Amino acid sequence: MMASIHRLKTLLVKELLSYLRDPRTRLILIGPPLIQLLVFSFAVTLEVRNVDIAVLDRDTGRQGVELVEHLDAAAFTSTVRVVQSGEELEALIDERKVLLGVSVPEDFSRKIVNGDTVSLQLLLDGRRANAAQVSSSYVASVASAYSQQIGTQTQRTGILVRHWFNPNLLYAWFIVPSLSGVLALLMAMLVTALSIARERELGTFEQLLVSPFSATEIIIGKSLPAVLIGAVLGTVMVLAGVLIFRVPFTGNPVLLAITLPLFILSGVGIGLSVSAISTTQQQAILGAFAIIVPVVLTSGFATPVENMPQWLQWVSVVNPLRWYLVIVQGLFLKSLPAAEVFRNLLPLMCIAVVSLSVAAVIVRRKLE
Amino acid sequence: MSSELLGRAAACEAAMAVDIRGVVKRFKGVTAIEHLDAGIWPGQLTGLVGPDGAGKTTLMRIMAALMRPDTGTVSVMGHNVLDATALVHRCIGYMPQRFGLYEDLSVAENLDLYAKLKGIAADKRVDVFDRLYEFTRLQPFASRPAGQLSGGMKQKLGLACALMGSPDVLLLDEPSVGVDPVSRQELWRMVQALASEGMAVVWATAYLDEAERCESVMLLDKGSLLFNGEPQGLTSRLQGRSYRLSHIQGDRRALLSKALGLADVRDGVIQGASVRLVRAADMDVSSMQLLADQSGGQLELVAPRFEDAFIDLLGGGPDGRSAIAERMEDVATQRDVMVECSHLSKRFGDFYATRDVSFSVKTGEVFGLLGPNGAGKSTTFRMLCGLLRPTEGCATVAGFDLVRSTGQAKSQLGYMAQKFSLYGLLSVRQNLDFFSGAYGLRGAHRRQRIEEMIETFQLGDVLNVSPEALPLGYRQRLALACSLMHRPSVLFLDEPTSGVDPVTRREFWMHISGLVQKGVTVMVTTHFMEEAEYCDRIALVQQGQLVRLDTPDALKAMVASDELPEPTMEQAFIRLVEAHRDGVDA
């Protein structure tokens, strides 16, 4: 037992040194994930800005002009073009000059004055469905705000929306905690996927196999350093989220400290299995990417799991990232209680145990 | 080989194929080639030899116009490599050490790819392929992926690809490394045929028996040309200085180290049960004779070999001492048999890679496992050191079963592979730390062992360097140090000196001989027959089965005949393999 612990220590030191001794490798481990975090967090956003719209005002009354002014003043618009005919409006959309057109009917002012309900026509560019959809809701909110303003006369009340946990709907609050998981998992999986494959390519794996290391020792020796690297990376990114992006961390940090290594461990098991099957580093990298892409897509990172078809929801149950995202988002924004954290930690533990066992079986079979 | 394929007659006999004048090449201040003048002639096979780092590959790359000389010029078939690169590439076929075969593509697809790269018209390709298939006898394997070919077949395919486009000059960089003697002989015949067709062939090699058979030899050392001409020209200088000491009573290894310690012995190697010695030029034979008399042996003058002359020119062999062996304690064991296997078989699907192999290796024996590429010798070897689990039968090391008591068995064995499996991302010191820890050395004991290795192998100056940055000789010493740290009682060597120059090889075997005298048992697998000569007994494996098991001398005697009274180990190997193959076929 003592001998085994001692051998294990030697193996761990060797693995860590092979990651950290070379300054370039060190830089690759830490640099790109952090840059990606910064770039994605600033650049990737579902908000729509700088939209060009066109307005066909058939009314020319005071209220119609005021509405156009409100639209022009809104944060999401870049230019508002006033057009004179329906054909002109269509042409602008057709040529992608504008994303959407607002058509104000002839009786707009009159109906408002009379206290009747008025309607606006929106023409959206379906080729840019997502942005158009978002912008149309912005237009709707501008219109509703305007109707609030003149509401004293019309006695109409609009709906007042308040977003809990993220009142200003700051996109970074959502994306930064999630990205910490995605990037840490990606890095940990790549590092482990390459580990055995690299040794096999260089011929050092045989040297390892003829020495008294057991399969279990090799697996632990390969897993722990990757877990350490992934957990450190994840922690750095969470800290960046709190300190640079000012995302509020409302939960208990200890709960995250328990979750993060377990989450990385479940990814390491997958990476190790890939590595044991691959004979070259190229295969290992391709294998790791073949897994990481569906892992990210079915995790709920980009689209909510609830929106997926039922079978895909079943598939996502074995996805460690799915459970981690629930925990990390919860701990950041809504102070997720410990009981809830452990409820989501359980599947994570199961995935780690299963994937590491699979890796152990594969490595042991390769040993024989 | 038909002359249409090559399309070159010996018309321009008088003109040099490659003219090298005043070439100098330096890398970061280190001289790779120092003012070299030489010519390579069409219709000739030119051997390019020299120790590791002599500049062979650099010279090849300059000739192939892949690298520019710092000063001087090279012209290939009249085209200057400096400005007519494209023309040079057209008349050159180059096969680098690691030929760029696409392992996932089949033989036919590789040929097709190189035909396209060389711009051979589609309607001519079928014709060219047919001739290349006929020449290389690779037709039956046309659809097999290149990655699954044996070492010999890979080299033949590489040669076929290099021949695409009918080059005037063929440059082969160590084509015979990792190739068994039978395939090596075949490769050799092919290249000779090409030369006789009028092609200029340059064959770089670390194997001097090959150089000896070339029509002309260029011997490089540290970038300078030490000799250029017919190999006999160099060999004949050693006339009357090569001896064989046979019928030795007692340990021939101890005798060799003693002989090498004498001032008048320039070089010495083990050849089966005998020892081959080279006398220093200005000394007489008296002390060698005295040594022979003491050992009860018989000293006789033999014809010199090119290798004798090569070592003599490079300053002689090692001094016969092994610092590491001197420091090691005798292996403490009561066992007579150190490695044993009985009815060992390994089956992959329906195919038996090893079938019913049994033998036992005595303590302190050097045991060689030989066989053609793909004959199952590696499979057997890997089962004996625990890298593969046998399908049937069992293997033991120092009495421990490799399957049931894996850990104990593994802690008894040291392993060193051809590639010197060291960690390139770690420093020399960290490699030593890792391997000592891997074998359970701890605390003061571990530090003391590491210090001892650093001292005996003179690694002190390179402790913080990555092994990859070191010359071959250092890497080999470090690999040996790492495998000896835990004082194994059995040492497994997997082609330990394949592609290694004779100087480094002598040093390595000096250490091994020293270890054997301390009672270490050595298992070695090799394609290289000079290495086989060091063995006490050789097991010849063919088609998965053990076909011969005897001493090197006995194996040689088996094939001796009137026209070949003193066969070399290589000739013995080839004949035994062919005889068995024919026997099975018949």
pLDDT digits 0-9 by tens, B435-467? 999 988 888 999 999 999 998 888 888 899 888
**How much of chain B exceeds pLDDT 90, in percent?**
36
In terms of Cβ atoms closer than 10 Å to its own Cβ (0-12, 13-18, 19+), residue A308 is middle
> Do B388 and A368 make contact, defined as CB atoms within 8 angstroms?
yes
Instruction: Report the distance separating Cα A231 and Cα A353, nearest Å.
Output: 18
Residue A160 maps to a domain: no
Residue A212 maps to a domain: yes
Distances (CA, A) of A177 to A291, A320, B564: 21, 15, 80
The verdict on A114 and A91 lying in the same domain is yes
Q: Region A105-128: what's the mean pLDDT?
A: 82
Take residue A88 and report the two structure tokens written for it.
Answer: 């002109």
Q: Which residues of A touch B479 (CB under 8 A)?
A: none
Looking at chain A from residue 247 to 276, which residues have their Cβ under 8 Å from any Cβ of chain B? none
> Do B438 and A22 make contact, defined as CB atoms within 8 angstroms?
no
Q: Which residues of A touch B441 (CB under 8 A)?
A: none
Q: Is the pLDDT of residue A366 over 80?
A: no
Confidence label for A198 from pLDDT (cuts 50, 70 and 90): confident
Q: Which residues pair with B523 in a beta bridge?
A: B367, B492
Query: CA nearest B493 in A: which residue?
Result: A207
pLDDT at A169: 61
- How do beta strands B366-370 and B537-542 pair? parallel
- How do beta strands B45-49 and B18-27 pair? unpaired
Query: CA nearest A366 in B: which residue?
Result: B388
Q: Does A9 touch chain B (CB under 8 A)?
A: yes
Query: CA nearest A198 in B: which residue?
Result: B423
Q: Is the pLDDT of residue B53 over 90?
A: no
Take residue A156 and report the two structure tokens written for it.
Answer: 């109409």
> Do B415 and A207 make contact, defined as CB atoms within 8 angstroms?
yes
> Do A13 and B433 make contact, defined as CB atoms within 8 angstroms?
yes
Nearest to B421 among A6, A207, A368 (CB): A207
Nearest to B425 among A22, A212, A214 (CB): A22
Angle (CA) B111 B112 B117, round 5°? 95
pLDDT at A167: 67
Nearest to B417 among A9, A25, A206 (CB): A206
CA distance B423 to chain A (A): 7
Q: Region B213-232: what's the mean pLDDT?
A: 91
Complex ipTM value: 0.76
Instruction: Report the distance separating Cα A281 and Cα A302, nearest Å.
Output: 29
Q: Which residues of B touch A203 (CB under 8 A)?
A: 417, 419, 421
Instruction: Report the distance separating Cα B207 and Cα B174, nearest Å.
Output: 9
Residue A159 maps to a domain: no
Closest CA to B501 of B208, B214, B241: B208
The verdict on A263 and A206 lying in the same domain is yes
Residue among B420, B425, B487, B490 with most chain A CBs within 10 A, to mutate: B425
pLDDT at A343: 92
Closest CA to B322 of B475, B512, B477: B512
- How do beta strands B216-221 and B71-76 pair? unpaired
The verdict on A247 and A205 lying in the same domain is yes
B333 against A292, higher pLDDT: A292
CA distance B31 to chain A (A): 28
Determine the longest span between alpha carbons in chain A, in angstroms: 92
- Global pTM reads 0.80
Angle (CA) A295 A301 A303, round 5°? 105
pLDDT at B315: 82
Residue A73 maps to a domain: yes
First to last CA, chain A: 23
The verdict on A180 and A145 lying in the same domain is no
Check: CB of residue A293 under 8 Å from CB of residue A198. Answer: no
DSSP of B358-394: EEEEETT-EEEEE-STTSSHHHHHHHHTTSS--SEEE
The verdict on A147 and A180 lying in the same domain is no
pLDDT in tens, B90-135: 889 999 887 678 888 999 999 999 988 888 888 888 888 988 888 8
Helix (H, G, I), strand (E, B) or coil at A363: helix
Take residue A184 and report the two structure tokens written for it.
Answer: 């840490």
Nearest to A202 among B407, B424, B433 (CB): B424
Q: Does B492 touch chain A (CB under 8 A)?
A: yes
Check: CB of residue B216 under 8 Å from CB of residue B195. Answer: no
Q: Which residues are within 8 A (CB) of A143 and not within 5 positions of it... i.e. 6 or more apart?
A: A67, A120
> Do A6 and B415 make contact, defined as CB atoms within 8 angstroms?
no
Q: Does B415 touch chain A (CB under 8 A)?
A: yes
* Amino acid present at A7: R
Query: CA nearest A16 in B: which residue?
Result: B426
Domain edge (last residue) among A154, A188, A204: A154
Take residue B137 and report the two structure tokens written for it.
Answer: 């006898």
Domain edge (last residue) among A88, A122, A154: A154
> Do A7 and B438 make contact, defined as CB atoms within 8 angstroms?
yes
Distances (CA, A) of B450 to A4, B119, B424, B458: 21, 57, 18, 12
Q: Which residues are within 8 A (CB) of A234 and not within 5 positions of it... i.e. 6 or more apart?
A: A180, A181, A184, A260, A263, A264
CA distance A279 to chain B (A): 12
Q: Does B448 touch chain A (CB under 8 A)?
A: no
Q: Does A22 touch chain B (CB under 8 A)?
A: yes
Residue A247 maps to a domain: yes
Average pLDDT of chain B, as a whole number: 87
Closest CA to B152 of B320, B372, B315, B317: B372
**With the CA atoms of B380, B385, B390 and B394 taken in that order, what torsion angle do they form, in degrees rounded to the nearest 10?**
100
Q: Region B295-310: what's the mean pLDDT?
A: 90
Take residue A125 and report the two structure tokens written for it.
Answer: 């560019």
Q: Does B442 touch chain A (CB under 8 A)?
A: yes
CA atoms B530, B533, B535, B538: torsion sign: positive
pLDDT in tens, B70-92: 999 999 998 998 888 888 988 89
Query: Of A22-31, A296-305, B558-567, which one has max mean pLDDT?
Result: B558-567
Query: CA nearest B433 in A: which residue?
Result: A10
Closest CA to A130 of A36, A51, A39: A51
The verdict on A274 and A189 lying in the same domain is yes
Looking at chain B from residue 38 to 97, which residues have their Cβ under 8 Å from any Cβ of chain A? none
Q: Which residues of B touch A22 (CB under 8 A)?
A: 425
Domain residues for the domain of A172 are: 2-44+167-367
> Do B421 and A25 make contact, defined as CB atoms within 8 angstroms?
no
The verdict on A75 and A180 lying in the same domain is no
Confidence label for A47 from pLDDT (cuts 50, 70 and 90): low
Q: Is the pLDDT of residue A348 over 50?
A: yes
DSSP state of A307: G
Domain count within chain A: 2
Q: Region B231-247: what's the mean pLDDT?
A: 91
> Do A21 and B426 make contact, defined as CB atoms within 8 angstroms?
yes
Q: Does B583 touch chain A (CB under 8 A)?
A: no
**How much of chain B exceeds pLDDT 70, in percent?**
97
Check: CB of residue A82 under 8 Å from CB of residue A68. Answer: yes
pLDDT at B119: 83
Q: Does B435 touch chain A (CB under 8 A)?
A: yes
pLDDT at B3: 44
Residue A161 maps to a domain: no
Q: Does A211 touch chain B (CB under 8 A)?
A: yes
Closest CA to A362 of A245, A250, A279: A279
Find the helix or strand (DSSP H, E) in which B228 lies.
strand B224-229
pLDDT at B170: 94
Q: Count chain A–chain B contacts defined by CB atoms under 8 A.
A: 77
Nearest to B389 among A13, A22, A368 (CB): A368
Q: Is the pLDDT of residue A130 over 80?
A: no
Q: Is the pLDDT of residue A37 over 60?
A: yes
Q: Which residues of B touch A211 (CB under 8 A)?
A: 410, 415, 435, 438-439
CA distance B471 to chain A (A): 18
Query: CA nearest A14 in B: which residue?
Result: B434
Nearest to A6 among B430, B442, B492 (CB): B442
Check: CB of residue B243 under 8 Å from CB of residue B299. Answer: yes
pLDDT at A157: 45
Confidence label for B408 from pLDDT (cuts 50, 70 and 90): confident
The verdict on A62 and A27 lying in the same domain is no
Q: Region B395-422: what's the mean pLDDT?
A: 86
Q: Does A1 touch chain B (CB under 8 A)?
A: no
CA distance A327 to chain B (A): 37
CA distance A210 to chain B (A): 6
Half-sphere exposure of B155 (CA within 13 A, CB side): 23
Residue for token pair 């618009």 = A77
The verdict on A272 and A345 lying in the same domain is yes
Query: CA nearest A13 in B: which residue?
Result: B434
DSSP state of A121: E
Confidence label for B9 from pLDDT (cuts 50, 70 and 90): very low
Find the helix or strand (DSSP H, E) in which B33 lies.
strand B30-40
Q: Region B529-557: what's the mean pLDDT?
A: 91
Question: How many Å separate Cα B519 from the centre of its chain?
Answer: 26
Instruction: Report the distance separating Cα A220 and Cα B257, nearest Å.
Output: 46
The verdict on A252 and A315 lying in the same domain is yes
Residue for token pair 């070897």 = B381
First to last CA, chain B: 29
CATH at A99: 3.40.1710.10
Q: Is the pLDDT of residue A154 over 70?
A: no
Q: Does B389 touch chain A (CB under 8 A)?
A: yes
Distances (CA, A) of A87 to A91, A100, A135: 6, 14, 22
Query: CA nearest B346 in A: which residue?
Result: A368
* Domains of chain B, first to last: 3-229 (3.40.50.300), 239-321 (3.30.70.100)
Q: Does A210 touch chain B (CB under 8 A)?
A: yes
Domain edge (last residue) among A95, A122, A154: A154
Q: Does A21 touch chain B (CB under 8 A)?
A: yes
The verdict on A132 and A182 lying in the same domain is no
pLDDT in tens, A264-297: 998 898 898 888 888 888 889 999 999 999 999 8
Q: Does B395 touch chain A (CB under 8 A)?
A: no
Q: Does B303 touch chain A (CB under 8 A)?
A: no
Check: CB of residue A217 under 8 Å from CB of residue A312. Answer: no
Query: CA nearest B419 in A: which residue?
Result: A203
Q: Does A283 touch chain B (CB under 8 A)?
A: no
CA distance B417 to chain A (A): 8
Q: Is the pLDDT of residue B1 over 70?
A: no
> Would you tell me how many other CB atoms lie within 10 Å of the CB of residue B328?
18
The verdict on A139 and A184 lying in the same domain is no
Half-sphere exposure of B267 (CA within 13 A, CB side): 26
Average pLDDT of chain A, as a whole number: 84
pLDDT at B200: 93
Closest CA to B238 of B291, B127, B313: B313
CA distance A19 to chain B (A): 8
Q: Is the pLDDT of residue B564 over 60?
A: yes
* Amino acid present at B532: A
